[in-house]
């Protein structure tokens, strides 16, 4: 029996404002991989841990290794927690150098080759999706280096994330206004990959094509969790939920016709250029209570520069359309985008206040590897430059409290004060 320990590294579960809330869910990508390995690969035993949730110390991690005695340790990664993943791998190899170490996730996918330069404790880096790639790892005990397999086209063929593999009782409850109560929230992922090109985002790390599950498959996952876990609140994690209006409408009809819409509440996000009145109305009827838009800026020139495919008129119309349908609407904005000035940021704040949103957040721009803004800062384009004391590749600076880059007259002092102000 091969024993595999899967985990999320990190000393915090998110950046900036989102940190105010406790950790509500396990990592969805990790959940997919661990479920697939447990259900589809014979001869393995799995265990999971969530370090930021448990606030686990290095000593507690070492105790976990000693008690479980895994043959493989497999971690997920984003840029803000990659340094901690390296630390956990170091502890793992110091404890037993024969334990195979595997790294997956967005950061590992984007900078696969750099991982081996930054840590000598990583044996395998998975580029892209981890489900089928893990079959290769189990088949080949001597496999090392980068493993990359083709994207999974038929996402309906995957097992639903098995949340019983996580200690769900320890996660924070989420409040639903619609249900008037707090309950555990369950992530549902309807698609992988992103066809859009927002210059601050690395949304295409799982491909530039949106690969979608069928509405029926998604409906069955919701139904399963309602029936087997008493799930009441869901978060559909897709950042562009309404990209395929037909499928969204089918899903909504299934939720309404089955009566499930009366028992649940769900939240999701989309883009203002994918707004549709009839779909928003159906979503509300099907249990959707909150829609999040990435609005980003209140200045038309900036919106064009960041390739958001939208403008202030469209933003106002779409927010109003969603509100008219009964949905609560929230939005997020980014300060410090390429070409921006202090005057632009002040205009964005004014604009945010005119929209009648249920809430909004202002983030300071983070510079993620694999994005256009990364190259712009490297090449000092559009007034962009690294903030003093920030070096590309210093992964500990990702926190959204402090500026990573300056732009035109938007210096570190102004940006950091803005975070305190809003
Ligand atoms: C949904 C989403 C969220 C959700 C859920 C995230 C979650 N971890 O469960 C929420 C809203 C909570 C969220 C939060 C954050 N997110 Co987010 N999010 C996304 C989004 C829109 C989709 C990601 C997704 O669910 N894909 C589908 C799943 C199935 O894929 P996956 O997680 O990558 O997992 C697959 C592979 O990566 C791989 N894999 C993953 N882990 C492992 C582990 C092993 C061992 C193996 C073998 C393989 C493997 O296999 C998985 C299955 O095939 C992307 C942008 C996009 N369009 O892709 C941004 C994105 C991933 N998020 C991002 C960021 C920065 C964050 C936050 C840090 C922001 C914040 N406010 O603090 C937090 C961090 C939270 C956390 N602890 O994970 C960045 C990451 C950039 C980077 N280089 O770090 C992205 C790319 C957007 C961007 N701005 O560029 N996010
Ligand atoms: S912000 Fe959303 S739509 Fe734009 S590239 Fe990222 S994931 Fe895609």
Per-residue pLDDT band for 397 (boundaries 50, 70, 90) equals: confident
Q: What is the pLDDT of residue 324?
A: 98
168 lies in a domain? Answer: no
Q: What is the pLDDT of residue 219?
A: 98
The token pair at 267 is 């939240």
Whether residue 12 is predicted with pLDDT greater than 90 in this model: the reply is no
Claim to verify: residue 185 and residue 137 sit in the same structural domain = no
Whether residue 15 is predicted with pLDDT greater than 70 in this model: the reply is no
Does ligand 2 have an atom closer than 6 angstroms to the CB of 104? Answer: no
Measured at the CA of 343, the angle between CA 340 and CA 349, to 5 degrees, comes to 90
Q: Which ligand 1 atom minimizes the distance to the CA of 126?
A: 47
156 lies in a domain? Answer: no
Per-residue pLDDT band for 123 (boundaries 50, 70, 90) equals: very high
Claim to verify: residue 194 and residue 324 sit in the same structural domain = yes
Whether residue 77 is predicted with pLDDT greater than 80 in this model: the reply is yes
How many whole angstroms separate alpha carbon 91 and alpha carbon 94? 5
What CATH number does the domain containing 235 carry? 3.20.20.70
Which of the listed residues 10, 19, 23, 28 should we mutate to test ligand 1's pocket, taking the one with most ligand atoms within 8 A of CB? 28
Claim to verify: residue 76 and residue 12 sit in the same structural domain = yes
Per-residue pLDDT band for 18 (boundaries 50, 70, 90) equals: low
357 lies in a domain? Answer: yes
Whether residue 212 is predicted with pLDDT greater than 80 in this model: the reply is yes
Q: Which residue's CA lies nearest to atom 3 of ligand 2?
A: 196
Claim to verify: residue 103 and residue 247 sit in the same structural domain = no
Closest-lying ligand to the alpha carbon of 197?
2
Name the pTM for this structure.
Answer: 0.97
Q: Which ligand 1 atom minimizes the distance to the CA of 23?
A: 77
* Enclosing domain of residue 142: 2-148
Which of the listed residues 199, 201, 272 should we mutate to test ligand 2's pocket, taking the one with most ligand atoms within 8 A of CB? 201
Per-residue pLDDT band for 421 (boundaries 50, 70, 90) equals: confident
162 lies in a domain? Answer: no
Whether residue 376 is predicted with pLDDT greater than 90 in this model: the reply is yes
Claim to verify: residue 237 and residue 315 sit in the same structural domain = yes
State the average pLDDT for the chain: 95
Claim to verify: residue 120 and residue 218 sit in the same structural domain = no
The token pair at 301 is 């020139």
Q: What is the pLDDT of residues 290-329, one digit of tens each?
A: 999 999 999 999 999 999 999 999 999 999 999 999 999 9
Task: Find, among 166, 205, 224, the residue nearest to 25 by Cα.
Answer: 166
Claim to verify: residue 64 and residue 195 sit in the same structural domain = no
Claim to verify: residue 302 and residue 219 sit in the same structural domain = yes
Mean pLDDT for the stretch of residues 19-36:
92
Q: What is the pLDDT of residues 92-113, one digit of tens each?
A: 999 999 999 999 999 999 999 9
Whether residue 21 is predicted with pLDDT greater than 80 in this model: the reply is no
How many whole angstroms separate alpha carbon 169 and alpha carbon 188? 18
- What is the whole-number distance in angstroms between the Cα of residue 248 and the centre of ligand 1? 22
What pairing do the DSSP bridges indicate for beta strands 174-176 and 145-148?
Answer: unpaired
Per-residue pLDDT band for 384 (boundaries 50, 70, 90) equals: very high
Claim to verify: residue 66 and residue 193 sit in the same structural domain = no
Per-residue pLDDT band for 419 (boundaries 50, 70, 90) equals: confident
Q: What is the pLDDT of residues 230-273, one digit of tens each?
A: 999 999 999 899 999 999 999 999 999 999 999 999 999 999 99
Share of the chain above pLDDT 90, in %: 92
Pocket of ligand 1 (CB under 6 A): 13-15, 18, 27-30, 32-33, 74-76, 78-80, 102, 104-107, 109, 126, 129-131, 133-134, 187, 189, 192, 194, 201-203, 205-206, 237, 239, 368-369
Closest-lying ligand to the alpha carbon of 310?
2
Per-residue pLDDT band for 67 (boundaries 50, 70, 90) equals: very high
What CATH number does the domain containing 60 carry? 3.40.50.280
Q: What is the pLDDT of residue 377?
A: 97
What is the domain count for the chain? 2
Whether residue 364 is predicted with pLDDT greater than 80 in this model: the reply is yes
166 lies in a domain? Answer: no
Inter-residue contact 178 to 184 (CB < 8 Å): no
**Which residue is associated with the tokens 């005119």?**
354
CA-atom Rg of the chain in angstroms: 22
Q: What is the pLDDT of residues 291-302, one digit of tens each?
A: 999 999 999 999
- What is the whole-number distance in angstroms between the Cα of residue 258 and the centre of ligand 1? 31
């Amino acid at each position: 029996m091969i024993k595999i320990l899967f985990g999320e590294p990190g000393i915090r579960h998110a950046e900036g404002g989102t940190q105010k809330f406790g950790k509500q869910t396990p990592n969805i990508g990790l959940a997919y991989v661990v479920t697939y390995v447990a259900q589809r690969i014979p001869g393995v035993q799995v265990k999971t841990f969530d370090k930021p949730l448990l606030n686990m110390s290095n000593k507690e991690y070492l105790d976990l290794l000693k008690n479980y005695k895994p043959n493989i340790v497999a971690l997920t990664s984003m840029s803000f927690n990659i340094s901690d993943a390296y630390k956990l791998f170091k502890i793992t190899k110091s404890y037993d150098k024969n334990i195979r170490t595997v790294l997956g996730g967005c950061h590992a996918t984007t900078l696969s080759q750099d991982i081996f330069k930054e840590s000598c404790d990583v044996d395998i880096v998975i580029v892209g999706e981890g489900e089928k790639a893990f079959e290769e790892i189990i088949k080949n005990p001597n496999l090392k280096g980068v493993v990359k397999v083709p994207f999974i086209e038929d996402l309906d063929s995957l097992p639903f994330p098995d949340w019983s593999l996580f200690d769900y009782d320890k996660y924070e409850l989420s409040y639903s206004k619609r249900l008037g109560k707090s309950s555990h929230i369950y992530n549902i992922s309807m698609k992988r990959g992103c066809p859009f090109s927002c210059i601050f985002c690395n949304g295409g790390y799982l491909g530039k094509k949106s690969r979608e599950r069928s509405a029926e498959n998604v409906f069955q996952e919701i139904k399963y969790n309602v029936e087997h876990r008493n799930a009441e609140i869901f978060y559909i994690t897709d950042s562009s939920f309404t990209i395929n209006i037909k499928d969204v409408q089918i899903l909504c009809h299934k939720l309404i016709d089955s009566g499930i819409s009366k028992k649940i509440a769900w939240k999701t996000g989309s883009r203002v250029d994918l707004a549709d009145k009839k779909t928003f109305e159906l979503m509300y009827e099907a249990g959707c209570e909150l829609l999040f838009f990435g609005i980003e800026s209140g200045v038309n020139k900036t919106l064009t520069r960041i390739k958001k495919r939208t403008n202030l008129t469209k933003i106002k119309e779409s927010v109003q359309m969603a509100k008219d349908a009964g949905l609560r609407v929230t939005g997020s904005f980014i300060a410090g985008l390429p070409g921006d000035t202090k005057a632009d940021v002040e205009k964005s704040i004014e604009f945010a206040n005119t929209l009648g949103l249920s809430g909004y957040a202002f983030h300071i721009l983070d510079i993620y590897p694999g994005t256009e803004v990364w190259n712009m800062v490297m090449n000092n384009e559009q007034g962009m430059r690294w903030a003093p004391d920030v070096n590309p590749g210093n992964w500990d600076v990702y926190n959204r409290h402090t500026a990573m880059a300056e732009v035109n007259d938007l210096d570190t002092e102004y940006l950091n004060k803005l975070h305190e102000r809003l």
